[in-house]
Amino acid sequence: MPKPIMTIFHLSDVHIGEPGVEVADFLKILDGVENKAKDVTAPLLLITGDLTSEGLREEFEAFHEAVEGVDIPMVIVPGNHDERNYGTAHFEELFGPRFTRHETEDVALFAVDSSEPDNDAGHVGRGYYPQIRDFFGLAKNKIKILALHHHLLPVPHTGREHNVVEDAGDVLWTLQVSRCSLVLNGHRHVPWIWRLNDMVHYTTGTLLSRRIRGATTQVYTRIELTRNEATFNLVAIDGAERILGRSELIV
Ligand SMILES: [Fe+2]
Ligand SMILES: [Fe+2]
């Protein structure tokens, strides 16, 4: 198998502040990520939202303190829990823009904030479709990745669907015409891979929340990208790993 051109440590739904979620566990996981990142090409720490439980200042500060010393390029977007109590203000102050880009020679990643204040459902908004199209349009020969908190396609075994992004159809169309290769999100707390035409959609699990579903456990995902394949490795809190699946990537 060819050497990966990028390794994404995809964390989501940390939920600092939720009863039972320990900052010490988060620090231990980040330590493990930093160690693994030393041996890989182009590591990226991607955190797709729900950093906090209630969007409160003290929760954001605890999260920020935990990640600020991590010496890996980082992309962070907020989730619906971070938008509670107008947490957006704290997010922007501590982490910067809610819409960001990350590019290497081989990969172009666009991260969007799909959350809205005091609304658990997701929404990207048509104002952002041209930005996504333009960004991916300039990244023709790269692996094109969209990262966001909410899912665009329903995830099985997560109960009744009620908060897929409200403009999912238009976002999916925008991604399809932009030849997006991979969508990375969280929110459902259950890891799952879908393929839709030429696109792979990956939902990672919750890192630390007690609100897991069925037989799933708390995990993050180490995603190894080669030019034409993504391998999704689930990593448990104790460091144990297993491959959830591999998907062909269309560039
Ligand atoms: Fe969550
Ligand atoms: Fe969420």
Instruction: Give the single-character DSSP code of 116.
Output: B
Q: Relative to the alpha carbon of 15, which ligand is closest?
A: 1
**194 Cα: distance to centroid of ligand 2 (angstroms):** 19
**138 Cα: distance to centroid of ligand 2 (angstroms):** 31
pTM of the model: 0.97
Contact 156, 19 (CB under 8 A): no
What residues form DSSP beta bridges with 243? 233
Residue 86: is it exposed, middle or buried by C-beta count within 10 angstroms (0-12/13-18/19+)? exposed
pLDDT of the residue at 216: 85
**220 Cα: distance to centroid of ligand 1 (angstroms):** 13
User: Would you tell me how many other CB atoms lie within 10 Å of the CB of residue 8?
Assistant: 29
φ, ψ at 121 (rounded to 5°)? -75, 160
pLDDT of the residue at 215: 76
pLDDT of the residue at 111: 98
**135 Cα: distance to centroid of ligand 2 (angstroms):** 26
Q: Relative to the alpha carbon of 211, which ligand is closest?
A: 1
| Nearest CA-CA partner of 147 in 47, 15, 6 | 47
**149 Cα: distance to centroid of ligand 1 (angstroms):** 9
pLDDT of the residue at 145: 98
**14 Cα: distance to centroid of ligand 1 (angstroms):** 7
Contact 47, 14 (CB under 8 A): yes
The topology (CATH level 3) of 6-248 is Purple Acid Phosphatase; chain A, domain 2 (3.60.21)
Cα gap 94→90, rounded to integer Å: 6
**96 Cα: distance to centroid of ligand 2 (angstroms):** 20
Residue-range domain boundaries for the chain? 6-248
pLDDT of the residue at 119: 85
Q: Indicate left, alpha or beta for 240 from its phi (over 0: left) and psi (-120 to 50: alpha).
A: beta
**105 Cα: distance to centroid of ligand 1 (angstroms):** 32
Where helices occur in 96-211 by DSSP H, the ranges are 129-137, 168-177
Where helices occur in 39-152 by DSSP H, the ranges are 57-67, 88-95, 129-137
pLDDT of the residue at 120: 87
**106 Cα: distance to centroid of ligand 1 (angstroms):** 30
Tokens at 183, concatenated: 């969508």
**228 Cα: distance to centroid of ligand 2 (angstroms):** 30
| Nearest CA-CA partner of 11 in 63, 69, 85, 86 | 63
Q: Indicate left, alpha or beta for 118 from its phi (over 0: left) and psi (-120 to 50: alpha).
A: left
**149 Cα: distance to centroid of ligand 2 (angstroms):** 7
φ, ψ at 211 (rounded to 5°)? -85, 70
Helix H or strand E encompassing 11: strand 6-11
Mean pLDDT for back-to-back runs of 10 residues, the chain (251 residues) = 94 98 97 96 98 98 97 97 95 96 97 91 95 96 98 92 91 98 97 97 97 89 97 94 97 93
